[in-house]
Amino acid sequence: MKDQLINLFTVFETAYFGKTFPLNYCLPVYHCVSNENLPHIRNVIRYKNIKQFEADIDCFSKHFQWVNWAEFKDFTSGNFKPQKKIALLTFDDGFREFYDIVAPILERKGIYACNFINPAFIDNKEIMFRCKASLLIETLEKKKSVHPEIYTILSSGSQATTEILKKEILKITYQEKDILDLLAEKFEVDFQSYLQEYKPYLSTEELKNLTNRGFGISSHGWDHPRFGALSLEQQMESIHKTFAYLKENDVLYESFAFPFTDFGVKNEFFEELFKNKEIFCSFGAAGIKLDSEKRNFQRVPMEMGESAERILKKEIAYFRLKKLLNKNMIVRK
């Protein structure tokens, strides 16, 4: 029913949606851009190829004014008057393709972006638990038979199909991530070998190179936990470790982007976060929404299997629909 209403409202969005965009800013978020099959993210992220990404960027350029980090800060502080509504381009997770593919495209087009990284994975020391799940699914799809203990580990019956097993693997949470290592033994998947061979993440030197070229590198938590499932103490531990790393490596330490989502994160977290006067703002990824925490800005996920124009029109329609129900603001407690 919700999707039907959104599609109905979307029909009425004009080709000039930049002017009717309900907020003064648009914050698109991506993870990766590649023409290649990337086993570590293929099963968890619907990343775009180069042609699709460039089409998205050109769409944003038509409807919005791109800004860099300093301009975004000045804009939200009331000290910058753009000619159009602004857009700040963001990426998450610090994948190597940002250095190899994305940065050259953006330099050619004169566009800034900030990549929010997890220091635990930089220099390919470790791999995020969702990427482990993607690699296991990649292996599962190629297996003619499954080790009997895998059914036990996943608490599924021995008659479970490949599709059921894939769904069970994708359900494994950050708190349960050790299960993925158990499964890797049975699947004969060596995560460390994969890291060393493919090097999916940025290196420290690449972070510094990107910073010198004018791009932003900032905080995405230490190792990509879902913050709504952590205690306040655990949340702040992840924050403090990450900011110490950012400062040590002389990159942007004024912002924080929530891994996954900020759903379930309470006011007490923001009160604690902004005790650090060096932190300017934080970012969620709930689409076009307002937030009762004025320094937390919601971004628009762009890897939904559709073009930027289609995604933005649907987001605008959903915002208007929620406005009718007085539900277009996230209220924290």
Quick one: which H or E segment has residue 317? helix 308-324
At residue 31, does pLDDT exceed 80? yes
Quick one: which H or E segment has residue 71? helix 69-76
Share of the chain above pLDDT 70, in %: 95
In this predicted structure, what is the pLDDT of residue 158? Answer: 78
Look at the alpha carbons of 249, 253, 255, 261 in this order and tell me if their dihedral is positive or negative. positive
At residue 195, does pLDDT exceed 90? yes
In this predicted structure, what is the pLDDT of residue 1? Answer: 55
pLDDT digits (tens, 9 = 90+) for 231-288: 999 999 999 999 999 999 999 999 999 999 999 999 999 999 999 999 999 999 999 9
In this predicted structure, what is the pLDDT of residue 7? Answer: 59
Rounded to whole angstroms, how far apart are CA atoms 7 and 112?
Answer: 32
In this predicted structure, what is the pLDDT of residue 323? Answer: 87
Q: b/e string for 93-125 if b means 16 or more Cβ within 10 A? A: bbbbbbbebbbeebeeeebbbbbbbbbbbbbbe
Which whole number is the average pLDDT over 43-60? 98
pLDDT digits (tens, 9 = 90+) for 86-122: 999 999 999 999 999 999 999 999 999 999 999 999 9
Rounded to whole angstroms, how far apart are CA atoms 62 and 55?
Answer: 11
Q: Band of the pLDDT at 11, cuts 50, 70, 90?
A: low
Q: Which two tokens stand for residue 269?
A: 């977290």
pLDDT digits (tens, 9 = 90+) for 145-181: 899 999 999 998 878 899 999 999 999 999 999 999 9
In this predicted structure, what is the pLDDT of residue 322? Answer: 87
In this predicted structure, what is the pLDDT of residue 269? Answer: 98
Q: Band of the pLDDT at 130, cuts 50, 70, 90?
A: very high
Mean pLDDT score of the chain: 94
In this predicted structure, what is the pLDDT of residue 12? Answer: 53
Q: Band of the pLDDT at 8, cuts 50, 70, 90?
A: low
Which whole number is the average pLDDT over 13-33? 87
Checking 241-247 for CB contacts under 8 A at 24+ apart, the result is 241/119, 242/118, 242/119, 243/219, 243/276, 243/279, 245/119, 246/119, 246/217, 246/218, 246/219
**Residue 94 backbone zone (phi > 0: left; psi -120 to 50: alpha; other: beta):** left
Share of the chain above pLDDT 90, in %: 86
Which residues have CB under 8 Å from 43's CB, separation 6+? 133, 134, 137, 138, 166, 170
